[in-house]
Structure 1
C-alpha cells in the first residue's frame, strides 16, 4: 500500500510532460524523492484506499459475495466522488461512472462500457493482498471493481492480472517467473466469464456471447505481454519504458509498463518507481503500479524510512496494509 502511494506521489509531477521536459526539470536522472510534506498522491491512491476500505468492511460480514461487496464499493466510490480531496485531475471515465452510480443507475448501466482506461488497474492492488480468497473469488472481485466504472473487457482482464501479480509476489514468486505466470493466466481464463459477479455486462454491441466478450480482453493483454517480453530481453534500464510497452493510458499498457519498471529493478524498489516516474506517459499510474509490485515483493524495509512519515494518507495506508500483513 505504501509502495502504491510512493510511486503515485513520485510520478504525479511528471504525468503530463515528456522526457526532454523531465530532464530539464530534474536532470538526466529524473525524480528520485517524492516532493512535499505531505507528499501528495493522486486519485489512483485515493481510489485504491476506497477499494481497500470496502474490502475491510465486507470481510467483517462474511461470506464475501457480489451482493455484499457491490453496494459497499458503490458507496465508497460515491464518497470519493464528493470528497473535497477529489481535486487531483481524475479521469472522466471514473467521474462520469461515479455520477451515474450516485444517480442510482444499476452499475451495469452506470459503467462506461467502451472504456479500458487505466483507472481500474491501480485501485485493484489491495485485492492482491487479501489472504484466504480462492483464485475464482480474487479474479471475479478484481473484475467487478473494474467493471463498476470501466466496462471494457480489457479493463477487466488487466485488473485481474494486476491483482494476481501482487498476490503472487506477496506469496514469494520470483519476479522473473511473473511474465510467464501472467501469460498462463491469460490462456487459462480466456473464456471464463464470472456471470454471478458481472451480470449481463457482456451484452454490448458486436458481442455474441459472454465468452466472446471476455476473450477480447485476454487477447489484448496477451499482445502487450509479448511487448513486455521483448523489452525484458533487451533490458535497457536507461530507456523510457513507454517506448517499449506503451504510455499507460489504457489498462493493458499500464499493467505492462508498470511491470516493466518493476522488473528492470526487482530488488531496488526506489529505482523501480523512479523508472515509472521518469517516463513520457501516464507516469503516476505507471510508477504507482511499479511501487505496488515492489512493495508486495520486498516489503516496507525496501523504502526510505522517512517517506512513511510524510506520504499523504499514511494512517490509512498503515491501517489497510497492517490488516493483511
Structure 2
C-alpha cells in the first residue's frame, strides 16, 4: 500500500500491519537489550562454557540484572521518544533535557561518550558536540528507533537532519553518522513496505560496507564486538543476513558476546520491524519488565501517529525550542 493511500485512510496503517511492525520494533529493542545484557562483555567461548547457548531471559550478567530488566539502550530510546512527543517534533534542547533527566535518575549503566555529551549540555547548554573521530561509538544508534518511527514518510533530507540532531548531542562522528543513517533506512524499509524488505535491507548493509570498509560484513565473522559502531554493526548485519526469523537472529547475535545488550537491541528493533510483534517469542515477552513493555507499546503507537506517513504533516526539526 502506498504512503498516499495510508494518508487518505486513517485506518489504513492498522490494516497494513504497520502498527504491528512499529510495536514489534520497540519490543524487539527491549527484548534484545534484556536478553543480551546477560552475556555483555563475555566472549563466545565463555558463553558456550557457561550456557551452551544463551537462549533465555535470565538476567544476571555483570550488571546483576533482574530477568527482563533493560539497560541504557532501551531507557535512552524511551527518553528520546518522550522528548519527541512532548515537543511534537525533533527538537535538540528537549531531547538533551530528556537525556539529562535520565542521567540524573542514576541509571544502572551509562556509556562514557553519552555521559560526556550530557554533561557538556548540562554545563554549557550546547546540543551539538564538536566533530570527533573518537566519538564513533554505538550510543546514538542504539536509541535511534523513536526517531525512525516519528520520521516515517519524511523527506530524506529532513529525516537525516532529525537523526543528526539526536545523535550529535552525544556522538558527532562522520563514520558513525553514515552507519546510523543506514540503520534508519533499513528500519524505514521494513516498516513502510515489508514486501521483499529483507533483501533490500541486506543490500543496504552491503552498500554501507562498500562505502567504508570498516562496515564490510564480508570479512570474517564478527565475534566479541566492541562498542565501536562498525564492530557493532558488522555483528548485527552478519546475524541479520544469515537468519530468517526474530528468534534465530537474536540468538545468533547475543551469543557473539561483546557489547551484547546493544547488538541485541539494534538487531531486535530491525527484526521486530521486519517480522512484527507476533514473531517475538512469547517466553521472552513474558519475562520483559511490564512497565517497560507497556511504555514501548504506547510510544510506538503515538510516534506512528505523529509521523508524516500517518499524520500527513511535515516532521518539525530544530536544535532549539520549536
Partners of 1:101 and 1:110 in 2: CA distance = 12
1:17 to partner: Cα distance = 1.1
1:181 to partner: Cα distance = 3.4
Partners of 1:52 and 1:109 in 2: CA distance = 21
Partners of 1:305 and 1:39 in 2: CA distance = 13
CA contact (8 A) 1:125 1:162 kept: no
Q: Which residue of 1 aligns with 2:62?
A: none
Deviations 1:221-261 (A, max 9, x none): 63144x31456xxxxxxxxx424xx8142112222321221
SS of the residue corresponding to residue 44 of structure 1 reads helix
Q: Which residue of 1 aligns with 2:172?
A: 151
1:168 aligns with 2:168: no
Query: Which of 286, 292, 300 is residue 321 of structure 1 equivalent to?
Result: 300
1:33 aligns with 2:62: no
1:177 to partner: Cα distance = 2.1
Query: Which of 281, 284, 289 is residue 304 of structure 1 equivalent to?
Result: 281
SS of the residue corresponding to residue 103 of structure 1 reads helix
Q: Which residue of 1 aligns with 2:82?
A: 53
Q: Which residue of 2 aligns with 1:178?
A: 201
Query: Which of 199, 217, 231 is residue 228 of structure 1 equivalent to?
Result: 217
Partners of 2:225 and 2:187 in 1: CA distance = 21
Partners of 1:100 and 1:276 in 2: CA distance = 33
CA contact (8 A) 1:124 1:163 kept: yes
Partners of 1:126 and 1:256 in 2: CA distance = 22
Q: How does the TM-score come out when normalised to structure 1?
A: 0.75
SS of the residue corresponding to residue 247 of structure 1 reads coil
Partners of 2:45 and 2:218 in 1: CA distance = 27
Q: Aligned pair in 2 of structure 1 residues 181, 109: CA closer, same or farther (>3 Å)?
A: closer
- The 5-angstrom pairing of residues 241-320 of structure 1 reads 241-243=221-223, 247-266=225-244, 268-312=245-289, 313-320=292-299
Looking at both structures, which has the greater relative contact order when contacts are Cα pairs under 8 Å and sequence separation is at least 6? 2
For structure 1, which segment, 303-312 or 280-289, has the greater mean C-alpha deviation from structure 2 after superposition? 303-312
CA contact (8 A) 1:242 1:248 kept: no
1:174 to partner: Cα distance = 2.3
Deviations 1:28-57 (A, max 9, x none): xx2112125651111111111112222222
Q: Aligned pair in 2 of structure 1 residues 142, 183: CA closer, same or farther (>3 Å)?
A: farther
Query: Which of 75, 78, 81 is residue 97 of structure 2 equivalent to?
Result: 75
Partners of 1:256 and 1:116 in 2: CA distance = 14
CA contact (8 A) 1:44 1:285 kept: yes
Q: How many residues align?
A: 268
CA contact (8 A) 2:179 2:229 kept: yes
Q: How does the TM-score come out when normalised to structure 2?
A: 0.76
Q: Which residue of 1 aligns with 2:145?
A: 125
Aligned-residue RMSD, C-alpha: 2.4
1:82 to partner: Cα distance = 0.6
Q: Aligned pair in 2 of structure 1 residues 21, 229: CA closer, same or farther (>3 Å)?
A: closer
CA contact (8 A) 2:140 2:167 kept: yes
Please list every run of 5 or more consecutive structure 2 residues that lacks an aligned counterpart in the other structure: 1-25, 60-65, 306-322
